[in-house]
């Protein structure tokens, strides 16, 4: 992938990460209102969110390599 494609992918992943944050918060809030939460669904979303965070970090490392001074 070239730099432009990496930046597009990075933005898409960040957007998905924010969306997952919103979805998790909504599930927790809905669970409070109903008196139970779908822990399995929340765990799956959190796991996906962690995988996305790792992908974001990998792309950022590629775009901004370490500079040894």
**How do residues 1-47 score in pLDDT, each as one tens digit?**
899 999 999 999 999 999 999 999 999 999 988 888 889 999 999 99
What pTM was computed for the model? 0.84
Parse the chain into domains and list their residue ranges: 3-63
Helix segments in the chain, DSSP class H? 3-34, 39-63
CB neighbour class for 54 (10 Å; exposed up to 12, middle 13-18, buried from 19): exposed
């Amino acid at each position: 992938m070239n730099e432009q494609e990496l930046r597009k992918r990075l933005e898409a992943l960040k957007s998905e990460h924010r969306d997952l944050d919103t979805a998790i918060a909504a599930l927790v809030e809905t669970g409070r209102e109903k008196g139970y939460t779908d822990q399995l669904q929340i765990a799956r979303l959190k796991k996906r969110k962690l995988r996305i965070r790792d992908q974001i970090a990998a792309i950022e490392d590629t775009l901004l390599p370490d500079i040894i001074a």
